[in-house]
C-alpha cells in the first residue's frame, strides 16, 4: 500500500471513513441526526483540515473546537464516542494506506480526539 500523498488521497480516506462512521451504531447519529452532514460540502472542508495537518498547507480556516463544542451541547459526547471515532479512523487509514503520513494521520487523529475529550468532558482541567 502507498502512503497518503495528496489531497485526492485525503478525500478518498474521508469518504471511506464517513461511509463507516455514518452507519456506526455508536457514533452514526452525530453525523445523521444531531448535525446531518452534507458530505459534498463537509469533505472538502475536512480535507482542508487534514491537508493543513499532514502537508503543512494553511488550507483550513475554521475552528474545529468551536464546532465540536456546539455539537456537544446538542448531544453530549462521551468517552466511548471518541474511542470509536479513533478506532474507525485508524482502521480506515490502515485499510487504504501505509507509511509515514498514514502513521502521522493516525497519531494526530488520536491526539486531537484526546484533546477534544479533555476540553469537552472535563472543561475545568485545561484551565488549571
Assess if CATH 3.30.750.210 describes domain 7-127: no
Phi, psi of 104 (to 5 degrees): -65, -40
Reported as a single tens digit per residue, the pLDDT across 29-61 is 999 999 999 999 999 999 999 999 999 887 777
What is the rounded average pLDDT for all residues in the chain? 93
DSSP per residue, 76-125: ---HHHHHHHHHHHHHHHHHH--SHHHHHHHHHHHHHHHHHHHHHH-TTG
Q: Where are the domains of the chain?
A: 7-127
- Model pTM score: 0.92
Amino acid at each position: 500500500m502507498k502512503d497518503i500523498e495528496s489531497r485526492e488521497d485525503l478525500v478518498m480516506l474521508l469518504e471511506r471513513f464517513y461511509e463507516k462512521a455514518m452507519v456506526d451504531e455508536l457514533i452514526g447519529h452525530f453525523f445523521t441526526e444531531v448535525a446531518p452532514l452534507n458530505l459534498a460540502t463537509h469533505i472538502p472542508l475536512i480535507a482542508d483540515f487534514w491537508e493543513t495537518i499532514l502537508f503543512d498547507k494553511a488550507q483550513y480556516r475554521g475552528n474545529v473546537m468551536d464546532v465540536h463544542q456546539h455539537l456537544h451541547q446538542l448531544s453530549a459526547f462521551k468517552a466511548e464516542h471518541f474511542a470509536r471515532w479513533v478506532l474507525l479512523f485508524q482502521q480506515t487509514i490502515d485499510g487504504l494506506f501505509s507509511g509515514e503520513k498514514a502513521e502521522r494521520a493516525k497519531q494526530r487523529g488520536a491526539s486531537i480526539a484526546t484533546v477534544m475529550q479533555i476540553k469537552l468532558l472535563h472543561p475545568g482541567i485545561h484551565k488549571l
